Chains A and B, each alone.
Chain A
Amino acid sequence: MPFISRIWNALRRRRINDEIDEELRFHLNQRARELERQGLTVQDAQRAARLRFGNPDLVRERGLDVKVANHFSSILRDAQFGLRLIGKAPFFTSAVVCSLSLAIGVNTAVFSLLDTVVLKPLPVEDPESLVFLTFPADSASQSRREIDYFSYPVFRELRDAGRPFVDLFAMAYQGRGQVIFEENPAEPEKLYAQWISGHALPLLGVRAAIGRTLTAADDRAAGAHPVAVISYSLWERRFARDPNIFGRYVRIPDPEERSYEIVGVLQRGFTGAEPGILTDIWVPCSMWSTSALRNANSNWLRIWGRMKPGVTKQQAEAVLQPVFTAFRRTYAGGARVGSAPDAFERHINAPLHLRPAANGPSMFRKTYERPLWVLMGVSGLLLLVACTTVANLLLARGAVREREMAVRISIGAGRGRLIQQVLVECAILSLAACVMGCVLARILVPVLVGALDTQLYPVGLPTTLDLRLLAALIGFGLITTFVFGTLPALRVSVSDPNASVKRSMRSSFGRAGTSRWFLVAEVCCCCLIVFFAGLFLRSFQKLSDENLGFDPKGLFVAAVDARDAGVDGPGKAAWHNLRTRIGRLPGVTSVSAATFALFSGSGWTRNVRVEGRPTEAEPVHFLPVAPEYFKTMTIRLVAGRDFTELDLQNQAPRPVIVNAAFAKRYLDGALAAGQRFEAVDHSGATEALTAIGVAANARYDSVRHPAPPTVYVPFPGGASGALLIRSELGPSSLASILRKELPRAHPAFRLGEIHAQARLVSDSFARDHALALLSAVIAAAALTLAGLGLYAVLSYAVARRTRELAIRIALGASRPHAVRLLVRDSSVDAALGVGIALLLGVVLAGFVRPLLFDTRSSDLASLAIPAACVLFCAAMCSFPAALRAIRLAPADCLREE
């Protein structure tokens, strides 16, 4: 490789030079000795040898041209020179490198997340030809939402119909459960398991690292294939890559607890097909509960497909649509009941879409795609702030170096070489910043992922330092080099040596060597970041302050599992016993139970039919609760009475308590005693209900939306439930007490996880918390950097204009006037920057509006606070420079000159 050896030679140019010299000297000596032998004198022989040889200097230069990549070697010399200069100014250098590495680190970390969640294709074969099926939601309020879960029967019909065009396979929604490993049952682990159809892994093109994958043979008969494959990372983590893993068993609690034999480990790097969730165990669909496999209304699968070559999506959709429509007509169920005819037709004819699945359909992405883009944009602005800050620092220093450059031009240095010199220096700084930024990013990524995490659904993102990330890092480094380096470089190339030497003789008047537009841009980017951070902070503040209708503080939710007593649980008496026992414990104020807690991610909706009214398509939220629920939750009862133990008996019509929103919408706002209505399930079954009370509104699962119409029905107990405990105890002491108390109430009761209700509520807007927190951190960084830049600009201005100021003061100018003179330009620039930023902010706010809660981008607080913040920061940073100007002793300055 001539090219590489030439670059290698460039690194040891001096040595090559010496070697050539030595070789040529050897030649000349040999020749001279030969000529001496022929009778010439020593001097004559040497002269003749020289003559025959030609000019050795010329030969050496030509030799070097052949051997050494000269351009490279000039870059190398620039780098050496640059390093020496950088070493001479350690404070300046560390300011520059820290600024850049902060920005590069933040950008790389955010990009790493964005890439993992949004951009990166799945680690499977040919991800571009993968699709998944969706159809639009019925309800008018959510018309743009697309549903992507289906029942097993419809999957089988669609798969058979689509076969000539697209190979369909099913992957269930991941379930997270306590998985028990046979060899160490004492240490169960909460893992995501996924039920998949037999063809899924072969069609995805996922191979086994050892053993085998699941195939169609594992998915024939319901309940007959208790086999599982596990992820490479689980194999590493839990089994230390033991090759003898086959034949071991794992116990998975859902849908009913049973053991699965491990038959393989999947290829390294495959962590499931849904970004945001790290799946560790896959089992065949046929092992899901038999009743759900047959139930056409039990929707628990995503349907994926691999397009056959040359088939268009339209062709495949055209084949699948009639099957889907016919299926929906057959199993319309509850949707048929009382719905308006056109609504029913719309339900039946919901258009089926094939959506690209190259990067994996993901719930997590639905929530976080936009926030991540926003964060990426804000980080990009931070990068610009850092670049402009550094450019200003460099320009200010460039002004100091103007004379050096002028001298070099005067003695014949090409301008190209000088530009190269400046760019090489910038590249060295960028390189150092990239290395530090990379370290910073590695620290930041787990922090970012942690900020997105919630208790119920841990976020799993396989963020690793891969080639894509490295490319991004290098990209950020290059951008910074060119953005902050180009202007100083150009400044050098146009500098007029004559004028510059003369000027430095006279000490300059007027502006320092910094660019006004860089200052404006810097303030503008910084203000824009603060503007967005302000929006997210206020939005988060409002969400936190929102009145929920109940007090989540001091309230704990303990999951209780009683499946050991059978599908129906241990019965009413046991649950009653449990509640009374817990209620008597010291430190417990009040206790109740429900099927699930508010904000727990669970929900139950049914349609409601009230006599004499058209049935509404919008379903109503239901929640089974035990007596004392309202007292424990601190939900006020507006009318009627609470449930008593007697209400838990099975009776028809069932007594229920409705909330105010329900009463307003369905009962004309007032509760007539014994008001009757009917609940209609999706299957079409109805249940008669009678309202015995009205409770105040309480949020069900979202802080963003007002409390939905809700019906509370009596909770008699079951195979599982949630204990709601208002207590002053901490969660850990509560857990240890409950662990003892539960089996005393009934041996089948087992304690699941304990959550603070407040955490469940705040987790429901974890996205807003993350966005506010991260944008605030970025804003703080931006303010610091911009402040540093401004400080540098003004300090240099003072340094350069000392003489001018001294003369002015000596001639009688007041000191405040001198300071005004100094900061006038930069204050105008800062104000201009803020103005542009606010204008841009209002325009760009449209993109973040869907993320905001009750926060307008154009009101006074949104605009004034960031402006005040940035201007205050600017003022603080100008202060030292102004102080120096005020303290200036004119006589001393002039004497120094």
Chain B
Amino acid sequence: MSKMDSLHGALPVMVLKLLLRGGPLHGYAIATKIEEMSEDVLSVEEGSLYPALYRLEENAWIRAKWVKTENKQRARLYEITEAGRRYLETEEKRWHEITAAIVGVLKRA
């Protein structure tokens, strides 16, 4: 099982949060940022990021546009939408509750 799979439910939330903070980013930047911020604990099989991005896009939580980079390559930049912001808000709350609950159980068990 790849590490990204174990993050299944968390990945979309992290992506949305990154996009909320960091403005438009391409897939490569998102992958690197997740790695950096998690201090390489969550280093992932990077390819798995893309289907997750597409799913977010199909749900209209993020939108994408193509831009030209300095070295004449086209990059696809992702940006959070208003619907994405609302979704993130509820999801973030849910994650905090769940992690708090898990931590509580781990402490007391």
Interface residues of A (CB under 8 A from B): 2, 5-6, 19-20, 22-24, 26-27, 29-31, 52-56, 58-59, 62-63, 65-67
Contact = CB atoms under 8 A, between A and B. Distances in A.
Contact of A6 (B58, B60, B73): B58
Nearest 6 CB-CB pairs, A to B? A54-B47, A59-B47, A66-B54, A62-B51, A30-B28, A54-B45
B26 interface: yes
Given A23-B27, A66-B54, 14 more contacts: A2-B58, A5-B58, A26-B26, A26-B27, A26-B73, A52-B45, A53-B47, A54-B47, A59-B51, A63-B50, A66-B55, A66-B58, A67-B57, A67-B58
Given A26-B28, A26-B73, A20 B58 contact: no
Interface in B50-67: 50-51, 54-55, 57-60
A29 B27 CA distance: 12
Nearest to B55: A66
B28 A59 contact: no
Which applies to chain B's interface (DSSP): helix, strand, loop or mixed?
helix
B73 A31 contact: no
B46 A52 contact: yes
Given A29-B73, A30-B28, A31-B28, A24 B55 contact: no
A326 to B, nearest CB: 72
Contacts of A23: 27, 50, 75-76
Contacts of A56: 47
Name the residue in B50, B58, B59, B73 with the highest tally of chain A Cβ atoms < 10 Å from its Cβ.
B50
A59 B60 CA distance: 21
B51 A63 contact: yes
Interface residues of B, number: 21
14 contacts: A23-B27, A23-B50, A26-B26, A26-B27, A27-B28, A27-B31, A27-B46, A31-B28, A31-B46, A54-B45, A54-B47, A65-B51, A66-B51, A66-B55
A55 B58 contact: no
A53 B26 contact: no
Nearest to B73: A26
B8 interface: no
Interface string B1-41: 01000000000000000000000001110010000000000
Given A26-B75, A63-B54, A2 B59 contact: yes
Interface of B: 2, 26-28, 31, 45-48, 50-51, 54-55, 57-60, 73-76
A2 B76 CA distance: 20
A53 B76 CA distance: 17
A24 B48 CA distance: 11
A568 B67 CA distance: 94
Nearest to B27: A27
Given A22-B74, A63-B51, A53 B45 contact: yes
Contacts of B58: 2, 5-6, 66-67
Contacts of B54: 63, 66-67
A20 B2 CA distance: 22
Contacts of B45: 52-54
A418 B55 CA distance: 31
A1 to B, nearest CB: 8
A62 B59 CA distance: 16
B92 to A, nearest CB: 23
A30 B50 CA distance: 15
Contacts of A31: 28, 46
Contact of B50 (A2, A6, A20): A20
Nearest to B29: A30
Contacts of A52: 45-46
Contact of A54 (B27, B46, B55): B46
A19 B57 CA distance: 14
Contacts of A62: 50-51
A91 B10 CA distance: 60
A24 B50 contact: yes
A791 B50 CA distance: 59
A698 B28 CA distance: 100
B27 to A, nearest CB: 5
B16 to A, nearest CB: 17
Given A2-B59, A26-B75, A54 B48 contact: yes
Contact of A53 (B46, B51, B55, B60): B46
Contacts of A2: 58-60
Name the residue in A5, A58, A66 with the highest tally of chain B Cβ atoms < 10 Å from its Cβ.
A66
Given A63-B51, A63-B54, A67-B58, A26 B74 contact: yes
A62 B47 CA distance: 10
B27 A58 contact: no
A24 B45 CA distance: 13
A20 B59 CA distance: 18
A71 to B, nearest CB: 16
Contacts of A66: 51, 54-55, 58
A30 B26 CA distance: 11
Contact of B47 (A5, A6, A19, A58): A58
Nearest to A62: B51
Contacts of B31: 27
Contacts of B46: 27, 31, 52-54
Contacts of B75: 23, 26
Contacts of A55: 47
B48 A26 contact: no
A2 B60 CA distance: 8
